[in-house]
Structure 1
């Protein structure tokens, strides 16, 4: 068996794993396989700067090709994995080549969740890859009206980009308010306010039933019997782990690759990180973190496992996600979905900022904020410790 590490996926997780291996002194060959033709790039700008023109393709690349060469990391673009032989630790590619390795890191990411509806004939854009964003940017350049299905982070960012370009935008969300189930009613209302203040029409509490192609554009039909006309329709409905190439391996549980608290799968020498992976923390709870920061952190942990420089247990990670919308930054730390109560402790309408604390069993479990980066991030160490009183946190924030 070849003494090398093969990383499947040029995502932030995959590239971080490769560069961390070198930083930690790993001397054996490293091969990164990426199915896309472009040099590996950062994905957050796809729904923002690439759409508005603030970023270009070259600017969002993680590193130029010569950087990988200087680290003796082989990055293969247009290299698509089609099968994994776990017994042989062999990755088989669509072009017929097969690579064996002592360590395999699964970082194949996720694909955009498609919109499914009966009798839909219209063109519905999604964003997951650079080609998606470039195509959508071209469509937005010719459009006047944009309809977005889903008020999650991607949907909100697309609507924000459309408004920045001077387009009219409507966001259609099946829930009563954006993120109400996760962040609570009061914070959901604050997020809805961002749309309203920017001139985005927000329609909540009704689902899209179909998208109809018209001679003059597209018609988005809703469950309440009404419709919205648009030139461009975008679905921002989340993502699905890219695990099709892992069929038959036994590594996939409930749609993602199940790992322990340091990224090890059930097969020795095979790891999974990023959107494709569900990690089980030391408490036994399983979590799939679909966020940039978590992907980087997991990559570092797996690099330590491969080089023997890490430990076999890790503290339960504190999830962190951010989103830039309408010139403001939204941040969420921790797991607000498990909270019993929430309190908005700082709301400055003039600055457009607010901070919300989430508690469970009298303990602080999460923080969310808008334009409150310094105040929000100072709670990170407290969330890691996991022993901060909710009342004390509220009192400190108020002071």
Structure 2
């Protein structure tokens, strides 16, 4: 059998062979990058943070740009590429990992990358932990809430932080969740410090920037235990969702039926980075399936013997359970992105809408409650749509015949807020 050769064309051809060489600097290595002197020897422009430029063997007389705002540096690099001038960018760790490579490619610049160890890999290494089962998120230059919700949802998360979105803020946001945190400050420098702490202690501490936060759910701090067989910690569950009622322990059939649950979960739009409330959770099936799809979940249930925790453990997800009757039990909870109201009437629905989630989904069996619920959501500014689900399931009859067995009709209401209230 002959050899098959695949030819791959670069989407960014290099004019005249000119490209921007992006070099990752590992401050812990000596020298910081073994081939850095050779890379810089022919450079006609060097771009980097002040600390990198000060430590690098930049040739005398070579023009440099100290990184602050990125736009001026990108313009200088584009001019260098157009003039076929060799340009070098110095960056921390792996510049293709939440780094400057994405921004340079977005500007249409051809790049060659020589990476070093990323800050996330270094943080796990300093903590002596494997990280093949961890998710990595960034709060640098973006809203902290999605990163915080990832820490609430998943057993092992690394967070790239920024001033005002660091270990103290993450620790404060994890109140109510059982987590251990590792804070890695000034990685690879003489001031490096690795601290194991609790969320409460992290919230009360002032941390030096830059730092990386590792959020770990397990008491033994091993993020690899219990990991998914497909090595995809934030991917949709391999076994699917809208699972049969038999997949959950429940009391006297008090569970959202699979046909209804499929629509409810679709309307809630759970995903990594979002926080979902499951109010009147019962068995917890709706919240658990949202957690299976990557969302952080708070289940509110007034019955102390409800099997939510056992069901969550059975499906390998972390659901925070708040015992108490809504709406009072909702006070003090972090703001949700979506809310499912499975019970409690209009008072609970009003309390949920008052927190301004992007979506509110409610199930109602009694028709006399539908109109008040619709008007309540509309008055709160939501666009409301609804449908009645009346499923009939196949059932066996003697002699091999089949019949249809009706389930109780349920009205599903969805209130969608203007996009300015939250993510879609």
TM class, shorter-length: under 0.3
Normalising by structure 1, what TM-score? 0.25
Q: When the two structures are superposed, what TM-score results if normalisation uses the length of structure 2?
A: 0.24
* Structure with bigger gyration radius: 2
Structure number with the bigger relative contact order (C-alpha 8 A, sep ≥ 6) is 1
Question: Between Structure 1 and Structure 2, which shows a larger proportion of strand residues?
Answer: 1
